[in-house]
Homo-oligomer: A and B are copies of this chain.
């Protein structure tokens, strides 16, 4: 069986046994069985626990071997000492996939933990069971309403993003960072590893962008081989943590993986065409850019701002991220001059407020016309718009304007930095959902973050051109 077939039961299980199922209910119960029902999972689920006859209204089995049906996936949530035995029972039942949730294996300070992980690996290998973990939240797949997480996961979205991580924290959201889609938490990665997971998502048609959270890998060479191939097909973003020596030491004890020097990672990422996120804020913006914006042809930016001051802030951001605030073509400048007050500098950045105040036209229409002019300029590769959320109240509303322009200029990224001042009871969150829901345009919290993300998009375009992909 190849990787894809072996990982499939982890991501698309039709029947699941929860070994060590607990009868507690409610938000702080961390009950996997209840969470599966809650997130709308449609497959079969079987609780296993010798101490109960029934859990949450379902018949409970004393052992996985006694379940009278085929099991695609076992989720093992028992104390560490019994895990190797449970894996042997899985093998006996011909279960081919097991998630080991528990902590205290190679991640523990004691020798017992390391020994138990070794025993677990041997049991799995002998029995033909592939194992994810231990020390993992498991897998998730929003496309089939499935999450193995012991924490309630209510708001799953069918995003084209696949996450391979070494912490379950990324299965939820941190600020506006949302990474599932589909997810694999490798945990201690005693068996299933980064390279294999990457190969799985390489082939997955529902995955457009792959995000890696890496503390370390066991087989660096294999990872590099696979990553190099995959990054030419799909953007691969990576947050490599444990950068300093001490943090690397902590990473090693967290998931017991080989961590390597940060300079080596930097070189590997560069060579493979992997886009490195420096921190989780950076990752948030990169995910947005790579999911919702087309790759730009170059680094020439047009800036359209309701404020002269923010035009300058945007220029600073361009300089910082090696983007060019391009001179607009003479034809564009002339057309802008024709509708500007004669005292206004009509160029890039374009300060649209004086134009809106002078023209006796609806503000939304003026915005649309000015954005179109700048996007239409053949010298411009991408546009950043700084404009208030209140444009949403106008006709046409700003989300419709951006959506329309994303269709009209499919090869020019359009990023919006919404100004929430002058409050009109419109929540930026809702506007972001509106735009990202249709996959058009992207919203950033500041010109600096928008420019940084555009620069990384441009970098990836350059990599693909250079590598002939």
Contact = CB atoms under 8 A, between A and B. Distances in A.
Nearest to A427: B429
A111 B113 CA distance: 79
Contacts of A253: 345
Contacts of A192: none
Contact of A420 (B107, B172, B320, B353): B172
Contacts of A174: 417, 419-421, 445-446
Contacts of A342: 110
Interface residues of A, number: 83
Contact of A281 (B171, B316, B446): B446
A27 B353 CA distance: 16
Nearest to A391: B28
A246 B349 CA distance: 11
B309 A254 contact: yes
A312 B110 contact: no
A339 interface: no
A192 to B, nearest CB: 17
Contacts of A243: 316, 319-320
Contacts of A251: 312
Interface in A146-167: 149, 151-155, 165-167
Contacts of A169: 306-307, 309-310, 419, 421
Nearest to A239: B313
Given A241-B312, A308-B167, A446-B280, A246 B319 contact: yes
A24 interface: no
Most chain B C-beta atoms within 10 Å of own C-beta, residue among A28, A107, A166: A28
Contacts of A112: 343
A72 to B, nearest CB: 25
A151 B312 contact: no
Interface string A278-315: 01110000000000000000000000001111111101
25 contacts: A28-B390, A104-B341, A107-B308, A110-B343, A113-B343, A151-B422, A152-B424, A167-B309, A168-B309, A169-B310, A170-B421, A171-B421, A172-B420, A174-B419, A175-B445, A215-B309, A242-B315, A244-B316, A247-B319, A254-B308, A254-B312, A279-B313, A279-B317, A279-B446, A281-B446
Given A103-B354, A167-B307, A168-B309, 14 more contacts: A109-B344, A165-B309, A169-B419, A172-B420, A173-B421, A174-B420, A174-B421, A174-B445, A242-B312, A243-B320, A247-B319, A250-B308, A250-B312, A281-B449
